[in-house]
A and B are shown apart, each in its own frame.
Chain A
Amino acid sequence: MWSRGLKPKGSLKVADTVVGENPDPHAAGEDPNRRDFIHIAAGAAAVGAVGALAWPFIDQMNPSADTLALASVEFDLSKVALGQQVTIKWRGKPLFIRKRTEAEIAAAVADDGANLPDPQTDEERHKPGKAEWMILIGACTHLGCVPTFAGGDYGGWFCPCHGSHYDTSGRIRRGPAPLNLAVPTYEFLSDTTVKVG
């Protein structure tokens, strides 16, 4: 293949040194030559280099190491009165810590079989034996606004931005939000202390 490419018709000069003639081998219907190889190799090297350089410039916008390090918070549950909620900041987002009344728990359990957009039982949304503690990320699953406490048609939360109604289990019942309020990773260190994250 190479040897054919190096023999232009009617000339003893190799393709790379032809001056004043059409250097395009394909115009005469010939096979690829060394010049084609160098074009493709240079082009591929340039594309590879741009690709390799692009990634650092894209990835620099992802969360930095110090942001990722802000992992967990501990919270003293004795600050929350029955039927009330405390909002703290965790990873830049609001975190709801709500101490539910018996009536609120009963209402949530009673609706386990209701027609839920994102079906989950109340049992699945709290720690075993800790039904009074509802710990949720306070960002509406629609567009991230902070739902208001005890608002809406189901007594849980109501998002003022676009009208999503959540029940006392934080499950979406009506409105544009697609999912239930997210439950973060957490554990009870004692009866009065919870560690989130």
Chain B
Amino acid sequence: MSGHSTYEPKTGIERWLDTRLPIVRLGWDSIVDYPTPKNLNYWWTFGGILAVCLGIQIVTGVVLAMHYVPHVDHAFASVERIMRDVNYGWLVRYMHANGASMFFIAVYIHMFRGLYYGSYKAPREVLWILGCIIYLLMMATAFMGYVLPWGQMSFHGAVVITNLFGALPIVGEAITTWLWGGFAVDNATLNRFFSLHFLLPFMIAGVVGLHIWALHVPGNNNPTGVNVQSKADTVPFHPYYTVKDGFAIVLFLILFATFLFYNPNALGHADNYIPANPLVTPAHIVPEWYFLPFYAILRAVPDKLGGVILMFGAIAVLFVLPWLDTSKVRSMRYRPTGKLYFMIFVVACLVLGYCGGQLPDNHVIPGLSTFILIDADLNSMVWLSRLATLYYFGYFLVILPLLGLTETPTAQPESISTPVLSHPAGMPAGAVAAPEKKG
């Protein structure tokens, strides 16, 4: 999509089509002869993996919609019918349910990759923001999809999440009533969630198209973070990265299949096999694992509106990240101090995920009661969540802005090829090799 097209139609029909709809040219320039940095490592394969995930979700989802009934009296039973009576229904439904988890595993790795290698920095800000929009749409889609089986977790998850909007002053109650289409989560809510759950994946597909477009204008970032300077720095996308991505996709599908065939309910919650009962909330209500870090942030704040603002703020801060990080160096490879803070950030996210799955008053160190600090024991999940939340926001709002001004980065290579070519004899020139410093 950028630069000069190298496509030359060879047959008559290709020439005929090329002057009317140059779609073969678009494909050729995007995935065959697209010049790609030659040093991309396996962290870069998750874009392709995510495209596969989206495809699997759409295909299995369309099939499930052929059998699912979006009505409070029939939804739960229709899902059980898919599991027991529909031919291969169990397979399609487990693919869809576990596929959502796989999608989120891949997207989180993809996002951490971008954070580590500075893929959000100029000239890729729009690419990054489009990615954030995709992530938001994914969360909305996943949330509404989880409501559809109409089990206990579905129902009360929907109650809790829609009530978040009730925290808004003045308009809060009107908005929740509008979202529900009634005075509680009920049939109207289920119906509209089904409609939107069907729509949003196609909106995601549309934004993915923009995301790839915005990728192909500046071209890929790479592990060194150094700009591509000449043709010597790149290789054609095909066959080099079609094969590399293809191999990674196969490995990823093995992980997927392991969950799918050996432990399909490992990532779900048993309570969702109990039909929804609006009169009883499950004793331990938790969202799906991929929302746990945000759930922990919500619960870390003792104030309703404050918790909601911080939870949405945790996502909003990603949108402005390109302008928060003041460092001119993209890759953390050449930012030793930054790398350390980044690693702590990853740990903070994992800690938040862990806390989100625990009861707030649970002890972090079992059996040890320390003292009540303000409103909870210091040795509790609440205080651990608060610590990790503080670091999460501190990383974006304090560390990245200040660190870029104060740290001393190590020397970056002059070009992508330099670290390869300056290597002792024996390394073939132009090989896809990692520079001497592994990230």
Contacts and interface: CB of A to CB of B under 8 A. Distances in A.
A142 B304 contact: yes
Interface residues of A, number: 29
Chain A facing B: main interface SS: loop
Interface stretch (B156-164, B229-237, B391-399, B428-436): B156-164
A145 B281 contact: yes
B188 to A, nearest CB: 7
Contacts of B360: 162-163
Contacts of A87: 279
A94 B164 contact: no
Contact of B361 (A67, A94, A163): A163
B278 A145 contact: no
A146 B304 contact: no
B303 interface: yes
A93 interface: yes
B339 to A, nearest CB: 36
A34 interface: no
B119 to A, nearest CB: 35
B283 A160 contact: yes
A63 B181 contact: yes
Given A61-B192, A162-B360, A176-B304, A143 B182 contact: no
Contacts of B184: 91-93, 139
A161 B181 contact: no
B304 A177 contact: yes
Contacts, number: 88
Contacts of A63: 177, 180-183, 188
Interface residues of B, number: 37
A178 interface: yes
Interface in B171-230: 177-186, 188, 192
Given A91-B184, A143-B163, A176-B307, A61 B178 contact: yes
Contacts of B183: 63, 67, 91-93
A185 interface: no
Contact of B278 (A93, A148, A177): A93
B279 to A, nearest CB: 5
A130 interface: no
Contacts of B179: 61
Interface in A76-102: 87, 89, 91-94
Instruction: Determine the main DSSP class of B at the interface with A.
Output: loop
A145 B277 CA distance: 11
B278 A89 contact: yes
A23 interface: no
Nearest to B302: A176
A146 B178 CA distance: 21
Contacts of A145: 156, 159-160, 281, 285
Nearest to B301: A176
Contacts of A162: 299, 360
Contact of A144 (B159, B182, B192): B159
A27 B188 CA distance: 55
B284 interface: yes
Interface in A44-84: 58, 61-64, 67
A62 B304 contact: no
A165 to B, nearest CB: 12
Given A63-B181, A93-B184, A163-B361, A178 B283 contact: no
Contacts of B425: none
Given A61-B192, A63-B181, A94-B279, A161 B160 contact: yes
A160 B285 contact: yes
Nearest to A96: B279
A64 B160 contact: no
B182 A92 contact: yes
18 contacts: A62-B181, A63-B180, A64-B181, A64-B188, A91-B184, A93-B183, A94-B278, A94-B279, A143-B160, A143-B163, A146-B278, A146-B280, A160-B285, A161-B156, A161-B160, A163-B359, A176-B299, A177-B304
Given A67-B181, A92-B182, A161-B160, 17 more contacts: A61-B179, A67-B183, A67-B188, A89-B278, A91-B183, A91-B184, A92-B278, A93-B278, A138-B279, A144-B163, A144-B166, A160-B285, A161-B281, A162-B360, A176-B299, A176-B301, A176-B302
Interface of A: 58, 61-64, 67, 87, 89, 91-94, 138-139, 142-146, 148, 159-163, 174, 176-178
